[in-house]
C-alpha cells in the first residue's frame, strides 16, 4: 500500500498533475515513513506550480527533519519554490545553507533572479561563476536568455543566444521558444527566419508549441505568407495556433480576414476562447470600427466566454470613439451588474470615456468613488478637465496628484502642452509647470522638445524656450533653433536672436533662413549696419561654397 502510493505520487509528478501529487502526499503522511529526496522534489514542485506558500514551508521543515536540506536536487527545487512564491529571503537562506553549490543550484538561482526581474543579479551570477572556471550548461544559458527576455532586454537575449551558439552549445526546444519570442518583440523577422531554418533541420518545426511561436512571429511582423506556410504544415494545431494568426491580422487591421479565420476555426472544430474574442475586438477598436466592435461584444455575450478586463477596456474605447454617452452609460451599468469589483484600469478608461462623451460630471463621479488611484487616474482627470476648458481645475488636480506622491509623467506633460497650444495666452502657473519639469525627470523625445520650444516661443516666453535649447541633445536641432530665432524676430529680441543666429551659423553656415531672419530682425529694430553685416556674412558663406565646388 505504501509502495503503491509512492508509485502513484511519482507517476502524477511525471505528468505534472500537481494536485494529485499533493493528495498522494497527504495519504503518505498516514504511514509512518520518511520520504526520500525524490518524493520531496516532486512535492515541492507541486507546491510551486500550485503557488501554496504555507504548505511549501511545512515541507521545508520536513526536509530538514529528514536531513535532506543539502541534497542538491531538493535544495534547488526549494530555491525555485521560494523564488516563485515571492520569498526571496527564504530562497537565499536555502542557498546560503549549501556548502558546495553545484551547477543545478546556480541555475536555480539565476532562474529565480530572472523570475523576479533582477536581471542584473542573474547576469552577475552567470558571469562571476564563469570567471571561477565553471562551465555553464544549456540550462544556464536558457535561464540567462530568459532573464533578459523577461525584462524586455530582447537584444541582450539574442546576444546571449549567439554567444551560446558560438561556444558550441546545442539549443533545446525551450531555448528556441524563448529566443523566438524575443525576436517577436523586436519584430526581428530575419533572425527569426534563421531560427526557423534550424528548427526545420532539427525536425522541431512541426511541434505545436514552437509552431505557434513561429506563426506568432511571422503574423506580428505582417508576413502572413510565411505564417500560413507554417500553419499549413503543422500536423497538429490548437486554439493558440488560431489565436496567433487571428491576433496578427487584428494587429495589422485585417479585420475581415480575422473574422474569416474566426469562422474557419469553428468549422475545423476549435472553440474560440476569451483570447480569440478579445483579439477580434481589439482589432476592430484599434482600427476605428467601433460599431462592429459593439456588435461583436453582443455576439460574445450570447455565445462566447465571460468577458474580462481586456474586453471591458475595448468596449469602453469603442464607446469613447463613438462619443456616445448613452452607450457608455449603459455599458457602465452592465459592468456594475456583472462583476463585483471593477479593475482600476477599467475605472480609468471609464473616466476617459465620460470625458470624451462630454460628461465631465460623470467622469468626476467615477473619480470620487475610487478607493485607490494611480498615475493614469490622475492623468485622465487632468486631461478630462482640460478637454472641458477647466484649466484651473486641471491644475488643481495636477497639484493633488503631486500631493498624493505621483510625479507628473510624459503623458501629464503632453496633456498640459496640447491644452495650451490652443490658448492665446499661457497661464503663468502653466509656464512654471512646464519649466520646472523640464529640469525634472520627464524624458521627452527631441520632437516633443522642439514642439515645446515652438510653443513657448510663439507665446513670447523666449528665455524659457532658450533654456530648453541648452539641453545637450537639442544642440544640433537646427529647426528648433531657427524656430526660436523666428520668434525672437516676432517679439523683437535682438540679444537672444543673435545668440540663436551665431549657434545656427556655427553648425551650418549654409542655412540661408537664419541670415534672412537675423537681418530682418536687425532691420525691424532699425539697426541697419548690423543688418548689412549679416548680409555680407551670407554672401561670403555662399561664395565659399561656390569656390569649394
Partner DNA sequence: ATAGGGTTAG
Instruction: Tell me which residues touch DNA (CB under 7 A).
Output: 10, 37-38, 41, 45, 48, 73, 76-77, 79-80, 84, 103-104, 107-108, 111, 115, 137-139, 142-143, 146, 172-175, 177-178, 181, 184, 207-210, 212-213, 216, 220, 239-241, 243-244, 247, 250-251, 273-276, 278-279, 282, 286, 308-310, 313-314, 343, 345
**Nearest alpha-carbon partner for 95 in 103, 105, 110, 82:** 105
Q: Which is nearer to DNA, 115 or 454 (CB)?
A: 115
Residue with smaller CB distance to DNA, 84 or 486 = 84
CB of 208 to DNA, least distance (A): 7
Residue in the structure block whose three cell numbers are 490658448: 423
What is the Cα 541 distance to its own chain's centre? 49
Nearest distance from C-beta of residue 299 to DNA, angstroms: 16
Contact 134, 103 (CB under 8 A): yes
Q: C-beta of 289: minimal distance to DNA in Å?
A: 14
Q: Following DSSP, what letter does each residue of 446-465 receive, concatenated?
A: HHHHHHHHHHHHHTT-HHHH
For 52, 150, 199, 443, 461, the CA distances from 452, given in Å and listed in that order, are: 52, 35, 50, 13, 11
Nearer of residues 346 and 456 to DNA, judged by Cβ? 346
Which residues, including other chains, have CB under 8 Å from residue 317's CB and lie 6 or more apart? 285, 290, 349, 353
Give the shortest CB-17-to-DNA separation in angstroms: 15
Between helix 309-322 and helix 344-356 the angle, nearest 10°, is 10
Please, which residue, 38 or 53, has the CB nearer to DNA?
38
Burial of 516 (0-12, 13-18, 19+ CB in 10 A): middle
Query: From the CB of 365, what's the least distance to DNA, in Å?
Result: 23
Give the nearer residue to DNA in terms of CB position, either 313 or 534: 313
Torsion of Cα atoms, 470 then 475 then 477 then 479, to 10°? 60
Residue 90 CB, nearest approach to DNA (Å): 14
Residue 225 corresponds to which cell in the numbers above? 505568407
Q: C-beta of 395: minimal distance to DNA in Å?
A: 29
Is residue 465 within 8 Å of 480, Cβ to Cβ? no
Q: How far is the CB of 142 from DNA (least distance, A)?
A: 5
Of 499, 488, 500, nearest to 525 by C-alpha is 488
Of 341, 339, 363, which Cα lies nearest the Cα of 351?
363
Cβ nearer to DNA, comparing 169 with 334 = 169
Nearer to DNA, 110 or 360 (CB): 110
Closer to DNA by CB, 184 or 377: give it. Answer: 184
For residue 238, give the 3-state DSSP assignment.
coil
Q: How many CA atoms lie within 13 A of 253 on its CB side?
A: 4
> Cβ contacts of residue 297 below 8 Å, gap of 6+?
281, 307, 311, 314, 315, 318
Q: Give me the least distance between CB of 358 and DNA, in Å please.
A: 23
Nearest-approach distance from CB 116 to DNA, in angstroms = 11
Q: What is the DSSP letter of 136?
A: P
- How far apart, in whole angstroms, are the C-alpha atoms of residue 170 and residue 156? 19
Rounded-to-integer distance, Cα 475 and Cα 458, Å: 20
Q: Cβ 84 to DNA, closest distance in Å?
A: 7
CA distance 84 to 431: 48
Least gap, CB of 459 to DNA (angstroms): 35
Residue with Cβ nearer DNA (106 or 420):
106
Distance CA 312, CA 526 (A): 64
In angstroms, give the least distance from the CB of 245 to DNA.
9
Euclidean distance between CA atoms 457 and 490, whole angstroms: 9
H or E element, residue 537: helix 528-548
Q: Which is nearer to DNA, 104 or 531 (CB)?
A: 104
Nearest 5°: the CA angle 404, 374, 415 is 90
Nearer to DNA, 315 or 444 (CB): 315
Place of cell 541534497: 71
Closer of 9 and 462 to DNA (Cβ): 9
C-beta of 212 vs 538, nearer to DNA: 212
Amino acid at each position: 500500500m505504501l509502495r503503491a502510493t509512492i508509485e502513484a505520487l511519482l507517476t502524477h509528478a511525471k505528468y505534472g498533475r500537481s494536485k494529485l501529487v499533493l493528495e498522494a502526499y497527504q495519504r503518505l503522511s498516514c504511514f509512518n515513513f520518511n520520504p526520500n529526496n525524490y518524493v520531496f522534489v516532486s512535492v515541492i514542485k507541486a507546491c510551486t506550480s500550485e503557488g501554496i506558500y504555507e504548505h511549501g514551508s511545512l515541507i521545508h521543515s520536513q526536509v530538514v527533519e529528514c536531513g535532506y536540506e543539502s541534497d542538491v536536487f531538493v535544495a534547488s527545487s526549494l530555491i525555485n519554490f521560494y523564488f516563485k512564491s515571492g520569498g526571496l529571503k527564504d530562497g537565499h537562506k536555502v542557498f546560503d545553507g549549501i556548502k558546495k553549490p553545484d551547477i543545478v543550484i546556480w541555475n536555480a538561482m539565476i532562474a529565480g533572479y530572472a523570475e523576479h526581474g533582477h536581471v542584473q543579479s542573474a547576469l552577475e551570477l552567470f558571469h562571476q561563476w564563469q570567471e571561477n572556471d565553471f562551465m555553464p550548461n544549456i540550462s544556464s544559458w536558457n535561464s540567462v536568455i530568459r532573464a533578459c527576455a523577461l525584462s524586455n532586454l530582447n537584444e541582450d537575449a539574442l546576444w546571449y543566444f549567439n554567444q551560446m551558439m558560438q561556444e558550441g552549445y546545442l539549443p533545446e526546444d525551450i531555448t528556441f521558444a524563448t529566443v523566438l519570442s524575443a525576436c517577436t518583440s523586436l519584430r526581428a523577422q530575419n533572425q527569426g527566419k534563421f531560427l526557423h531554418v534550424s528548427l526545420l533541420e532539427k525536425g522541431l518545426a512541426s511541434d505545436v508549441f514552437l509552431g505557434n511561436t513561429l506563426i506568432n512571429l511571422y503574423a506580428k511582423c505582417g508576413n502572413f505568407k510565411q505564417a500560413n506556410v507554417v500553419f499549413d504544415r503543422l500536423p497538429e494545431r490548437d486554439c493558440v495556433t488560431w489565436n496567433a494568426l487571428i491576433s496578427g491580422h487584428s494587429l495589422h487591421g485585417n479585420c475581415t480576414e480575422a473574422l474569416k479565420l474566426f469562422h474557419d476555426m469553428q468549422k475545423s472544430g476549435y472553440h474560440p476562447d476569451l483570447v480569440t474574442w478579445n483579439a477580434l475586438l481589439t482589432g476592430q477598436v484599434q482600427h476605428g470600427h467601433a460599431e462592429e466592435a459593439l456588435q461583436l461584444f453582443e455576439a460574445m455575450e450570447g455565445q462566447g466566454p465571460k468577458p474580462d478586463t481586456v474586453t471591458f477596456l475595448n468596449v469602453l474605447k469603442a464607446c469613447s470613439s463613438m462619443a456616445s454617452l448613452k452607450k457608455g452609460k449603459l455599458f457602465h451599468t452592465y459592468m456594475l451588474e456583472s462583476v463585483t469589483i471593477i479593475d482600476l484600469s477599467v475605472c480609468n478608461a471609464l473616466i476617459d470615456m465620460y470625458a470624451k462623451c462630454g460628461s465631465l460630471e460623470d467622469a468626476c463621479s467615477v473619480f470620487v468613488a475610487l478607493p485607490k488611484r494611480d498615475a493614469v487616474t490622475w492623468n485622465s482627470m487632468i486631461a478630462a478637465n482640460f478637454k472641458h476648458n477647466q484649466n484651473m481645475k486641471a491644475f488643481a488636480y495636477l497639484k493633488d496628484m503631486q500631493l498624493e506622491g505621483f510625479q507628473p509623467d510624459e503623458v501629464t506633460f503632453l496633456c498640459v502642452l496640447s491644452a495650451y497650444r490652443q490658448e492665446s495666452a499661457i497661464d503663468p502657473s502653466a509656464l512654471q509647470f512646464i519649466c520646472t519639469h523640464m529640469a525634472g525627470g520627464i524624458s521627452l523625445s527631441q520632437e516633443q522638445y522642439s514642439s515645446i520650444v515652438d510653443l513657448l516661443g510663439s507665446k513670447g516666453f523666449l528665455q524659457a524656450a532658450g533654456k530648453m535649447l541648452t539641453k545637450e541633445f537639442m544642440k544640433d536641432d537646427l529647426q528648433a533653433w531657427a524656430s526660436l530665432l523666428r520668434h525672437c524676430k516676432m517679439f523683437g529680441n535682438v540679444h537672444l536672436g543673435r545668440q540663436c543666429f551665431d549657434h545656427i551659423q556655427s553648425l551650418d553656415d549654409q542655412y540661408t533662413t537664419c541670415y534672412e531672419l537675423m537681418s530682418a530682425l536687425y532691420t525691424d529694430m532699425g539697426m541697419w549696419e548690423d543688418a548689412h553685416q549679416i548680409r555680407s556674412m551670407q554672401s561670403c558663406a555662399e561664395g565659399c561654397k561656390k569656390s569649394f565646388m
